[in-house]
Amino acid sequence: MGIDEDDVVVIQVVKTMKCNVSMEENITAMVMEKMNFTHPDEVSSGKPLADLGLSEIDIYDLIVHLEDMYDITLDNSAGEVGGYSVDALSQNVKGKLIRKPQEVPNWKDSFEGLVFNGITKKLRTPMSVHLDLTFRCNMKCVFCYDSAGPDRSKHEMSIEKVYEIIDECKKLDVIDVTFGGGEPFIRKDLIDVITYTKRKNIRYFIITNGTLITEEIAFKLARVFDHRYDKIQVSLDGPTAEVHDRQRGVIGGFDLTMKGIDNLQKAGISPTINAVLTSNNYPHIKDMIPFLMDRGISNFRVLRLHPLGRGKDPEFYKKWNVTPEQSEELFEYLMGKQQELIDRFAISNDFASIFPWSAAKFRNDLQSLPGVEPVSYACGAGTTKIAIGPEGDVYPCSYMYDFPELKIGSIQNGTIQELWEREKLWDMYREPLTPSGKCGKCDYLYCCKTGCRIVSYALFGDMAGPDAGCTYEPGLKE
């Protein structure tokens, strides 16, 4: 369904209100409207709403509005609602938001759980496909794991071939397709590809630097964007041009990215902002939260630096990576902010900013089990998802493009289904590992599984070796 500019104004007001004010301020504003109060001081945050003059119907209406706004169900009964105060109602909503990930079934976790819990080695078909349409890029990020840039090969699949892949994704019940690069908007046919994908009722996720998103492109995207399922992630590494442009390798990139973000917001799309954590932007990551909130952006993700692509050089990785102490301090800060701002600003809970088992705060919530192996060593690579490069090469994961020896095959010479079912090609990803190095004696191996296989492979040539981000030393007293 299309979206016109009048609709966009309403969407933006709602999103800005939710992002820029606290839960208590939201509820107070609703009470003021119902009671025709003119000043917030007339609403005592600790006083029961019934004592402020709200009827039971008014209070139920308030609760329903909050449930719709935050997509939750509050616990209440007819005899209790009158006793709610602004503070009590706010805490009830926040508590529900904190517990929501554990209480609400997640299709992705459910399907991946079949593999990760050892029930099956792989799903019948991949549920996610990462489709990189190009390695060309108008930026030259210092750490790009694809080593993308303006001089990369233009030997890319035709739009007809891309449509064939989308058709097979539909046939195989693939749930979502991620479009990345390079910079996917360099391809002039990207909107056509996205539109075709939505016609097949497949969810999409775009990873972009945002610099090529004009108003026209943003409004075309909005016509095929489902706020419930589709996502657009924009890379922004800092709150200033100095910080961002140094990492992205192009002067003026910050301004172009901010313009692209603004165009998306005008079209009613609120993107997720992703920052790659380095020694360069570490001092500025905390400043990103108010910077984004002030602009009505409510989704933020921090990704740790990986020793892949341009970041593979050991000296580069050492220079640009943060220290273990900085990594852990920032991780704890982000997790604290995640709960503090849960009603108005979402910080990704995928632990992408750190190798989680390096953080004592994370390990303290786990049981130490020396010698216990995981029920499955599998990650999603080659078990629940695949990646397809611009020329049609198929890999278990998009992080593997730098290693041609890990290629499974080519979509130019067969179908996704044919490659998926050739078990021998996938032994390295679907069969158990034999942990090496310190992993073999680690008391958290049962949940860590040695970390990211490709990061271990990049550093040690061994997928069973320790993750590059792991700073935990088994056997040392903490």
Mean pLDDT of 35-62: 86
Residue 362 has pLDDT above 90, yes or no: no
Let me know how long the chain is: 478
- Which two structure tokens, joined as six digits, stand for 58? 């008014």
Confidence of residue 105 (pLDDT cuts 50, 70, 90): low
Confidence of residue 136 (pLDDT cuts 50, 70, 90): very high
Residue 387 has pLDDT above 60, yes or no: yes
* pLDDT attached to residue 5: 36
* pLDDT attached to residue 76: 59
Amino acid, res. 296 = G
Read off φ and ψ for residue 149, nearest 5 degrees: 175, 175
pLDDT 10s digits, 396-455? 999 999 999 999 999 999 999 999 999 888 988 999 889 999 998 999 999 999 999 998
Instruction: Round to whole Å and give the CA distance between 229 and 246.
Output: 33
pLDDT 10s digits, 324-351? 999 999 999 999 999 899 888 999 988 8
Residue 28 has pLDDT above 50, yes or no: yes
What would the 3-class secondary structure string for 100-164 be? HHHHCCCHHHHHHHHHHCCCCCCCCCCCEEEEECCCECCCCCCCCCCCCECCCCCCCCCHHHHHH
- Which two structure tokens, joined as six digits, stand for 449? 């599984």
Residue 244 has pLDDT above 90, yes or no: yes
β-sheet with 203-208: strand ranges across: 346-347, 299-304, 272-277, 231-235, 203-208, 176-180, 128-132, 385-388, 393-395, 409-410
Residue 197, SS3?
A: helix
* pLDDT attached to residue 35: 86
Mean pLDDT of 202-219: 98
Instruction: Round to whole Å and give the CA distance between 223 and 217.
Output: 10
Rg (CA), the chain: 24
Residue 3 has pLDDT above 60, yes or no: no
Instruction: Round to whole Å and give the CA distance between 444 and 450.
Output: 9
- Which two structure tokens, joined as six digits, stand for 208? 């972009």
Q: What percent of the chain has pLDDT over 90?
A: 62
Confidence of residue 20 (pLDDT cuts 50, 70, 90): low
Residues β-bridged to residue 301: 274
Residue 11 has pLDDT above 70, yes or no: no
Q: Return the higher-pLDDT residue of 261 and 14.
A: 261
Mean pLDDT of 357-362: 86
Instruction: Round to whole Å and give the CA distance between 91 and 371.
Output: 42
How high does pLDDT run on average in the chain? 89
Amino acid, res. 429 = Y
